[in-house]
Amino acid sequence: MMITWIILVSLVCKSTQHGNGQENGVLQCGPQNLTLTSSDQMIMLTWTEDDPSCSAVHDVLVYELVVLKPDSSIPLTGEVSVMPDQIGSSHSWNWISPFALECFSHSVRIRSRYNKQTSPWKQEHTHPGMENLKRPGVYPKDRFFEVGSNFTFCCILPAGEIFNNTPGSSKLRRISNQTYAFTVHMTQASNYTCNNVYCPSTEHGACAYIGYPPQDKDLQCETRDLQSVECHWTFGGDSPVSHKSPTVYHLLGRECREGGGGLEIRGDEGRCKMEVEMDSGEINWTLTAENKLGKVELLDRADLIKRVHMIAPNTMTASTVNARNVTLEWEWTVPHYSNLKIKCHVNISHGETHTIREYFGVGLNFTVLNDLIPYWKYNVTVRCGTTHHLWKWSEWSTTVNFHTRVPDALDVWRQAVGDKIIIIWKMPLANQSHGNIKDYRVTWEKTRSQGKEQQHTTVYNNDSLALSLDMTEEYIVTVTTRNEYGSSSPSTITIPSRNPVSDGTERANTSWIVRSSGSFNLSWSPSPAASCGYIVDWCPTVGHCKVEWLKVSPNQTNARIFSKNFTDGVRYLISVYACTQEAPVLLDRSEDYVRETRIKDGLFQSLKWKQKDSDVEVYWDPINQREQSAFIRGYVLYWWENDSSEKFSTNASTVNPEDTSLTARKLPINNYKFIVMAKTAVGECGTTNITVTLNPLNNLVKPVLIPLLTVFGLLSLITILCYQHWTCIKQKVYPPVPEPVLTWPTSPGENRCRPLHVDQYPYNEPEFLDVSELHYNLGQVVNGNVSEDYKPFASTQTPGGYINQPLKKSTSPPLTLLTIDAPSSPFRSVFSNPSYNLLMETGDQQSSPGPRLQEGTPLGRSFSEYQPQSNTQTFNLFQTTEEPRSPMSCDSTYIVLPKST
């Protein structure tokens, strides 16, 4: 029995599990976690199902919903179908009531249905209703309504109070005991404040804002700065309720906020600006406008690259105002414009005339207006747009007013004088000043300081200003001038840190100068550095130099230079500079005359002469070439004898203008007149003469006087020496021996006088000299070379005789032999005095006709130098040592005197 019951129970359980949540006709899979929310008139119910039995549902699960409310006897129903794959997730259902939820209580019931099985009802209450809360009045309160709409209000009367009649146009119908409904047609928009809605015949009422949903339209998007989008639309106007429910705008889902240029409503135009990536290609730009009464969505499809609406040019200035042209400059507030191809319209107005000129350029920010009328007032304004895909022109810029009466820009140049820089300008002519020039303003500053250390001064009635500038710095000097109408455009020149005038070492000589009837025709090679043209300046090379200059356009490499200050015969220094954006660069420098003139006589003011034998050299101080009135191409020297009638018989010349002398050669002794002249293109000129008288003795002075003086000096020396050693000499020369026998002293040293140290000869070691007088008789010499009249071989110089050959260097043995050459035959002779045998050996067969001193022992300095034309008297003092094998054993000193020829 027990087992049977267990089996039955198990079967029942089994059948229940297979019944898909159905148990005895009641569906177990029902709504769970009900949540009822309400807003204004809408009720929303959310729920889930988490019953395990729901997992067995394999088909559509349907939820039935019923709203119960007192104004309708028939309940409103709704259904929500849930697919099997949605089971377990959250579900919702909403319902919008025609009444305000405050009018009465609402309740919602829900159950599930599956295969004709339903779950139990579940009920949720919503707003309990003001009637139940004992709060009479008109509902809803403070709600927004669109103009033209209808709405049913409810009026809840206090307990016990009822309507006696049905007043006004409102149609009252009773909903519950104390609640009545009446419909209001919203015909009139709210003004000032909300509209009053009264519960008829009572003082109860409510406030209703009646207005419009956003009515904006015509969206158009563009970019002005190439980094943000600006969308414009037609603003729908202020809604009567806008102060209570302002319209909120979103562009591409991002809110446009007021302030900071994001959202801006001006009149009937709205604008929203937002930073965006500037991608190329078309994009849908969507703007939504929403208030409490509705929402509107505006769309514009655009490629912003083709929708550039430029911002008007800023900071318009007429930077350079001349009589017939003006430079207009402006700035862009958007950096990206500098890379944009731009075209601009310039509206030029004067009087009733308006002219528009068009200009193009990348990042165009200036233009030059030409063909203007001098002395005229102009008003100019500019607008710009992109060259390609012009979307819109920018707004017109602010108007610039200018008068073409201001002075033209000054022509400014500089000149370095010593350590000063002279800023020079050309005073404006009448057609350049356009009025009375009041003053000139010179401003200078270091390039490095960039406007921080600007200095200036005002100059009146002058065309230059000397500045003492720091030469290690580069300066920018600006000069302007003013007339009664205004200031000229600034003229600027850069003064480099080093003086360019003195720096000409690296330049090439690439210019040519051709004189042309009082002017120069100058041409030069083009320079790539000359971005703004060339400047040619000139100045006299001597005297006061006030530089003049001429400016030449970049495409021009020649110029005709003319000046009223040009003077014939004055040399000018002409320089060519390249005009650059920085300091001028010296290209070339030349010197020339407008016209060369004859150099005045007396050019050689320091003319002198000197005689060299029979030559006459005429010389002078160097000539300052620059001071001359013509190029000197050399000099020429003329001379003639004073008593000669023939002029310019002979001449000498040079082509070097730097030469300072000319020589007339081999002139006979006479009186001459010399003339020196400079050779120039205009002939020989600058004549300077000098008279010269040649001195006949001039040739004998040196060859005669000098030897005489030399001999005198030597003789004086010998005399002094002899005087000082007279005793010794006397003893040696006149020994106390009987005449005529000559005997040798027994001891070589006994009769010797004290040694004589001869300092005059730089011997290596002191020598001891025995001086003796030698007498010999040549009568026995058979050789004809010996004088026949027996003249003693003594120390008397032959008058006028001299040795006209070099002395040979002594190289051998210490023994020195006095050899007298015998041309005819060698001979040997012995003095007649047996005790005084002098061995005379013939030489080596030399045939020299005169006596000759052979080479001896080098005792010191040798006399090897040839002394031409010198009368030489040679005294050779030798000391010989006794040699055992010597043919003559004699320790004597010989005084050899050259034989007179």
The piece of 3-11, 135-143, 303-311, 323-331 that touches other proteins (CB under 8 A) is 135-143
**One of 40, 50, 142, 484 touching other proteins (CB under 8 A):** 142
Q: Which residues are bridge partners to 652 per DSSP?
A: 637
Q: Which amino acid is at 767?
A: E
**One of 36, 54, 110, 206 touching other proteins (CB under 8 A):** 206
Examine residue 237 and tell whether it contacts other proteins (CB under 8 A). Answer: no
Cα–Cα distance, 573 to 588 (Å, whole number): 11
Give, in degrees to the nearest 5, the angle at Cα 568 between 566 and 569: 120
| Residues in contact with 94: Cβ distance below 8 Å, sequence separation at least 6, in sequence order | 42, 43, 44, 45
> Are residues 678 and 631 in contact, defined by beta-carbon separation less than 8 angstroms?
no
The piece of 134-142, 407-415, 554-562, 752-760 that touches other proteins (CB under 8 A) is 134-142
Cα–Cα distance, 719 to 729 (Å, whole number): 12
The piece of 144-152, 188-196, 276-284, 607-615 that touches other proteins (CB under 8 A) is 188-196
870 φ, ψ to 5°? -110, 130
| Residues in contact with 540: Cβ distance below 8 Å, sequence separation at least 6, in sequence order | 567, 570, 571, 572, 573
The piece of 92-100, 137-145, 290-298, 856-864 that touches other proteins (CB under 8 A) is 137-145
Task: Give the residue from 531, 539, 520 showing the smallest Cα distance to 578.
Answer: 531
**One of 70, 88, 98, 205 touching other proteins (CB under 8 A):** 205
- The SS3 of residue 339 is helix
Examine residue 419 and tell whether it contacts other proteins (CB under 8 A). Answer: no
Q: How many CA atoms lie within 13 A of 264 on its CB side?
A: 11
> Are residues 495 and 510 in contact, defined by beta-carbon separation less than 8 angstroms?
no
> Are residues 226 and 278 in contact, defined by beta-carbon separation less than 8 angstroms?
yes
Site for other proteins in 719-738 (CB under 8 A): none
The piece of 33-41, 70-78, 195-203, 657-665 that touches other proteins (CB under 8 A) is 195-203
Strands of the sheet with 32-39, listed across from one edge: 32-39, 42-48, 91-96
Cα–Cα distance, 496 to 592 (Å, whole number): 27
> Are residues 871 and 801 in contact, defined by beta-carbon separation less than 8 angstroms?
yes
CA 404 from chain center: how many Å? 35
Examine residue 196 and tell whether it contacts other proteins (CB under 8 A). Answer: yes
Examine residue 194 and tell whether it contacts other proteins (CB under 8 A). Answer: yes
Cα–Cα distance, 399 to 30 (Å, whole number): 80
Would you say 203 or 643 has its CB closer to other proteins? 203
Q: How far is the CB of 106 from other proteins (least distance, A)?
A: 21
Examine residue 276 and tell whether it contacts other proteins (CB under 8 A). Answer: no
Q: How far is the CB of 484 from other proteins (least distance, A)?
A: 53
Would you say 195 or 893 has its CB closer to other proteins? 195
Examine residue 258 and tell whether it contacts other proteins (CB under 8 A). Answer: no
Classify residue 112 by burial, with Cβ atoms within 10 Å: 0-12, 13-18, 19+.
buried
The piece of 167-175, 200-208, 385-393, 551-559 that touches other proteins (CB under 8 A) is 200-208
DSSP state of 893: B
Q: How far is the CB of 247 from other proteins (least distance, A)?
A: 15
Examine residue 293 and tell whether it contacts other proteins (CB under 8 A). Answer: no
Q: Count of residues binding other proteins (CB under 8 A)?
A: 14
Examine residue 134 and tell whether it contacts other proteins (CB under 8 A). Answer: no
Site for other proteins in 442-471 (CB under 8 A): none
Would you say 199 or 890 has its CB closer to other proteins? 199
Which tokens belong to 481? 């001038």
Would you say 193 or 811 has its CB closer to other proteins? 193
Would you say 199 or 308 has its CB closer to other proteins? 199
Cα–Cα distance, 519 to 560 (Å, whole number): 7
**One of 138, 382, 578, 616 touching other proteins (CB under 8 A):** 138
Examine residue 203 and tell whether it contacts other proteins (CB under 8 A). Answer: yes
**One of 141, 589, 725, 852 touching other proteins (CB under 8 A):** 141
Examine residue 156 and tell whether it contacts other proteins (CB under 8 A). Answer: no
Examine residue 192 and tell whether it contacts other proteins (CB under 8 A). Answer: yes
Which tokens belong to 833? 């005095």
Would you say 114 or 153 has its CB closer to other proteins? 153
Examine residue 210 and tell whether it contacts other proteins (CB under 8 A). Answer: no
Task: Give the residue from 777, 802, 763, 782 showing the smallest Cα distance to 899.
Answer: 802
Ranges of beta strands (E only) in 332-369 are: 341-350, 353-362, 366-369
Q: How far is the CB of 101 from other proteins (least distance, A)?
A: 16
**One of 60, 62, 207, 838 touching other proteins (CB under 8 A):** 207
Q: Which amino acid is at 154?
A: C
Q: Which amino acid is at 484?
A: E
Would you say 204 or 598 has its CB closer to other proteins? 204
The piece of 191-199, 220-228, 798-806, 835-843 that touches other proteins (CB under 8 A) is 191-199
Examine residue 160 and tell whether it contacts other proteins (CB under 8 A). Answer: no
**One of 193, 398, 450, 869 touching other proteins (CB under 8 A):** 193
The piece of 60-68, 198-206, 406-414, 807-815 that touches other proteins (CB under 8 A) is 198-206
Which tokens belong to 888? 């003559």
> Are residues 181 and 200 in contact, defined by beta-carbon separation less than 8 angstroms?
no
Task: Give the residue from 217, 151, 147 showing the smallest Cα distance to 181.
Answer: 151
Cα–Cα distance, 186 to 190 (Å, whole number): 10
The piece of 50-58, 187-195, 379-387, 805-813 that touches other proteins (CB under 8 A) is 187-195
Q: How far is the CB of 209 from other proteins (least distance, A)?
A: 9
Which residues of this chain interact with other proteins, rule CB under 8 A?
Answer: 138, 141-142, 192-197, 203, 205-207, 243
